[in-house]
Each structure stands twice: as structure tokens, then as C-alpha cells.
Structure 1
Amino acid sequence: MEMVEDYVSGSNMQRRDAQDVIDEFNCELSNMRGKCLDIGSGPGNITKELLLPILPHDAEVVGADISEAMVNYASQKYNDEKRLSFVILDIETSELPSNQVEQYDNAVSFYCLHWCNDIWRALQNIYKLLRPNGKALVMFLGYHSGFEAYLQLKQYPRYQSYLQDACRYVPYFQRRMCKDVRASLRKMLEDVGFEILHCSKREKSYHYSKQSLKNHVCAVNPFMKRLPDDMKSEFIDNLLNEIMNQNVLIPLKSKSKSSQEYLILRYYLLIAYVQKPASAI
């Protein structure tokens, strides 16, 4: 996801869901004092516009993302905000930078952890980044049919060489086909060492026009930069067709005079609010 402007304009679903979680955990967030890490902050708009205003006025926020392009964009766009900074950080790294370990009083992450191939390591790293008593609020995709379309496109001879690792981009719990996703996440969090304050699975849906769906899949597609320019438009069209062919899109006629139809795409989110024990070493 190096196309920063495309992501900003095509991530309305992510923004809405982040706002919903922020509203639900308003009380908890408004008490997050000290230094807060926003994991997977991307272009920084959610961090700046939704998260920062709800935190205490003396709280400091560090946005972290694996993408240098995203971090550079956020750093330049929000360089006038003294309480906000951005760093490049791979939350799946096998060795965290020593100057980051136990440097944060709180952490949040919205729409990031489903991109992690090794979510166990990502959660371990969040644990290590927090100080004792530190709390973390995370929200990520547990299942989304769009990822199944990647696996279908991998079967196309034309795309095979570009999508060899397509499974790597399917959310962890989706590719594991867990029967009880919430229970699996709870056990993982407990095994890492967290005390669980909240853990839930939420069914969600989002209305798309065909154009807004196209904007969305372009914004979050990990394969676009690999494809030759003359294949990109065709690839996106085939991706949209595969999503529609899975019978998860329900036509909904527009209330306006236009003939445009809107589509309902269903998915589910996992939300966890956890704490690192005071006794953690």
C-alpha cells in the first residue's frame, strides 16, 4: 500500500469502523495518558483526526507504520502537531529496536494486524512495547471475502507469477479457518501474557457503488506495484468480478434518480482491549 493518496481517498470503510471503535471505547481512550503508539497509522489521518482529539491533552502519540511512503507522508502533512510524530516500524520484526521496548503507556491499532503473516509475533511485540500496566486497543479484520478473490486470481495463468504469495495476504484467522475465532484470539492474547479486558467478534457490512469498491480494492491491494502498468486495469476488473462472483454482494437500488446500484459487502472484525500486567518483567 504505497499509493498514499489512493489509500486516503479509498479507505472510507476503515475510517468509519475506526470511528465506531473510538466512540465505543471513548472512556478508556480519554484516560490513556502518557505516550501512546498507533500501530499501522498509515497516512496519519485517523491518528490526527480521530485518535488525538479524544486522548488527554498531555498525551503524546507516535504513529508507526512499516511503509516508508506512509510515514513520510504523515510526517510532512502533520508536522505542525507537537504531540504527534511518526516512525517506521515493522510490528512483525524478530527484534524490536531497543529504544522502543517498554516505551509506551498505551497502544492502539486500527485495521493493521490482519496484514500480519505472524500475528502471534505482532502481539508479542505489542506486549514488549508496552510498559507494565500498559493497555492496548486493537481492531482488525477476521474475515473479508475480498481476500478470497486473491486466491482465485492466483489460479489465472496470467497472474500466477505475481500472486505466488497470495495466501500471505489473507487474514490469519481466515486462512486458518478457525471454528471459534474469538476463543482462538483470546487464547493467543492470554498466552502472550495479556490480561483481557474485552474481546469480541463483530459482523459488519459496508455499502459500495461499483466505483467506490474499485477505489477501495485499488487502495488496499498489495499486488499493484508488482504488476506491469499495462496489466493493472485488467487485474482490478478481474478482481472486482471475482468478489462479485462469490455471492457476497447484494444489489441495492439507489434512492436517487440515477440508475446506479449499490452493493452490500459483509465482513467481520475482531476487537480486543488488553492490559500488560503490572508484574510483567
Structure 2
Amino acid sequence: MNNAELYHRSNTKQKRDSLQCLEEYGKRIKWKNGRITVIDIGCGDGSVTTSILKKNIPNNCERLLGCDISENMVQFANEHYANDHTSFTVQDIEGDLPTEFRGNFDNAFSFFVLHWIQNQEMAFTNIYDLLKIEGECFLVFVAHTLMFEVYRILSRSTRWKFWLKDVERFISPYHDCQDPVKKVKQMMTSIGFTSVEVEFLQKAFTFPNLDALKDFVRSINPFQIPKDLEEDYLLDLFNVLRDVRIIDYASSNVDGPIKATLNYSLIVAKGRK
């Protein structure tokens, strides 16, 4: 997940869903009068921060900061999107916050990041600590997707179990949860958030062709597969995608592209400090 250029050209699904969630739920966000500061947690290559989020926040934003754990992503974002009011920095939301970050933001956003974090309590506590009093967060992350099951299946294979031995680190903490909405609400309330709202959304994304699916899979792959094994890994992964019917050769038109549809569910959470 450190290849910024690959992620940049492969994150169409993330852009679509981020925009849809902002358009559908963004009207509930409380914006402060006067100058505001905004942080985007897990900004990746910076494209969602600038092409989606920036266009959906008020003009009175004097500072928009994107942060990400990946130095490569932050470097790419600064090279392509930084300006006088927008910048990007390396920061792990699951780690220790710099003193200057605490209580310094009116609004905190995060899109397609928090499901990678196992210590949810720490991440959400840090988000709370980032906010000023009466500041708000707006968070979108994956609850369940068949891709997680694909990783688990590969991790049980003789060939890939060594490289995927830490597979559970990269499964959403809500993937096996019966009531993720209740779990997130309880956690946010216990941390101190008020006006907590949590929604559960069923989503689907159809890839235009197998090359687009391949780039997407590679761009979000969390495992350190050696370069000389990468093509074999992708071949085996695609076989599993076929077995779980993400890739559906049977129902695809003979003369058209092979159908590939990913079904998944999202959590949209909002809370105030």
C-alpha cells in the first residue's frame, strides 16, 4: 500500500464512495463560523483530500492538513497537491500525537483507513484529541468485504501462508461483528464523543475490466510479497476471486468484458467533542 502512483490511478472506488457519503451525510456536519482548520486522516496520495473533501468544505478553511502513515504517499501528495493552505505530513493515527496536533482542528475526516487499524480505541481517542471543543469528526471505513475472506483463504494455502502469516492484522475489526453500528456507537460514546451518529451502508462496485481490478487489488495489498512472486500471487488471488464470485466468468458476455463486482459494507460515523 506504499505505491502512491498505482494508488493514484486505482482509487476510483474510494473517490466515488467518499463523494457519495459526503453528499448524502455532509449536510449534517456542523461548521464553525470564522476561520477553521481541517485534517484528513489517512490521506493516501492526496487526491481524495483535494478533489473530493476540499470541494465539500466551506471557503473559510484556512488550513487543510492531510496525514498518512506512508512516507511515499505523503511525498506524492505534497509534490502534486500542496499549496499555501493545503499540506501533508506523516502521522500514524494509532500512535502518539504531536503536541501541536492536540485540540487544534475544527473538523476531522477519514476515508477508507480506519478498517486497517486493530486498536480502534486508540485511533478514535486520538481523533477525539485532535479536535477542538465542539469540533466534529466524519469517518468512512469498511466493515465487511469479501476481499478479507480472500486474504484468509490465501493465508491457509501452503504457498502463501508464510507471506500472509499476519493476515488478521489486515482484517477489519468489524468484519466478523454481528452489530458493528452498536459497537462503534458504544466506543465513541465511551471516549467522550457526543451527538454520535453511525450508519451502515451496503455497497457494490463493478470494475470496467480485469486490468482495473488487478490494479485495485495491487494498490491495496497490505502484504510484503517478493517481487519475483508477485505475478504468481496475483494469479492465485484471482483464482480465489473467481471461486467467491467476485470475478464471474459464467455470467459475462462472451464479446464483452468479464464481469467483476465487489460487494462490501461501509460504516459512516459522525461525532462531536
- TM > 0.5: yes
TM-superposed deviation, 1:228:
2.1
1:211 maps to what in 2? Answer: 211
For 1:124, the aligned partner's letter is: T
Q: CA RMSD in A?
A: 1.8
Counterparts of 1:1-281 in structure 2, within 5 Å, are 1-28=1-28, 31=31, 34-59=36-61, 60-79=63-82, 81-93=83-95, 95-174=96-175, 177-208=176-207, 209-223=209-223, 226-250=224-248, 253=252, 258-276=255-273
Structure 1 distance, partners of 2:125, 2:22, is 23
Contact 1:30 1:55 (8 Å CA) reproduced: no
Structure 2 distance, partners of 1:28, 1:50, is 17
SS in structure 2 opposite 1:211?
helix
Point out the more displaced range, 130-139 or 24-33: 24-33
Instruction: Write out per-residue CA displacement over residues 27-81 of structure 1, whole angstroms, 9 at most, x where no aligned residue.
Output: 34583651111001011011111111222222021001000000011011123x2
For 1:221, the aligned partner's letter is: N
Instruction: Write out per-residue CA displacement over residues 151-185 of structure 1, whole angstroms, 9 at most, x where no aligned residue.
Output: 111112222221110110000111xx221111111
Contact 1:75 1:86 (8 Å CA) reproduced: yes
Point out the more displaced range, 18-27 or 160-169: 18-27
TM-superposed deviation, 1:22:
1.5
TM-superposed deviation, 1:196:
3.2
Instruction: Write out per-residue CA displacement over residues 227-256 of structure 1, whole angstroms, 9 at most, x where no aligned residue.
Output: 2222001101211221221245556545xx
Structure 1 distance, partners of 2:97, 2:31, is 27
Structure 2 distance, partners of 1:138, 1:5, is 24
Structure 1 distance, partners of 2:112, 2:257, is 29
Structure 1 distance, partners of 2:119, 2:194, is 21
Q: Which runs of 5+ in 1 are unaligned?
A: 277-281
Contact 1:35 1:105 (8 Å CA) reproduced: yes
Structure 1 distance, partners of 2:262, 2:76, is 30
With structure 2 as the length reference, what TM-score do the two structures score? 0.92
Instruction: Write out per-residue CA displacement over residues 162-221 of structure 1, whole angstroms, 9 at most, x where no aligned residue.
Output: 1110110000111xx221111111111111111134211000001123222111100100
Q: Which runs of 5+ in 2 are unaligned?
A: none
With structure 1 as the length reference, what TM-score do the two structures score? 0.90
1:279 maps to what in 2? Answer: none
Instruction: Write out per-residue CA displacement over residues 85-116 of structure 1, whole angstroms, 9 at most, x where no aligned residue.
Output: 111110001x2211211111110001010011
For 1:49, the aligned partner's letter is: S
TM-superposed deviation, 1:267:
0.5
For 1:232, the aligned partner's letter is: E
Q: Percent of counterpart pairs with the same letter?
A: 29
